[in-house]
Amino acid sequence: MSHESEETDETGGEQSLEATVAEFLRDVDAAHDDYDRGYVDADATLSVVMTHVERLREAQADGD
């Protein structure tokens, strides 16, 4: 899944922290499911998760 550097919602506005958290949880769950099914190895899964963690941190910092 590819994301722009600045997340936006469907209307072109900045995505809320709540929406970012919901997306984070969905994406991390998907990465975990892929790992459980054997589609990816642990290093690849951790890389995906940490990318999502960084995006969540950025959204939190932007909300401060």
The pLDDT tens digits for 4-13 are 444 454 545 5
pLDDT of residue 13: 52
Over residues 21-63, the pLDDT tens digits come to 999 999 999 999 999 999 999 999 999 999 999 989 998 888 7
pLDDT of residue 5: 40
Buried b (16+ CB within 10 A) or exposed e, 1-30: eeeeeebeeeeeeebeeeebeebbeebbee
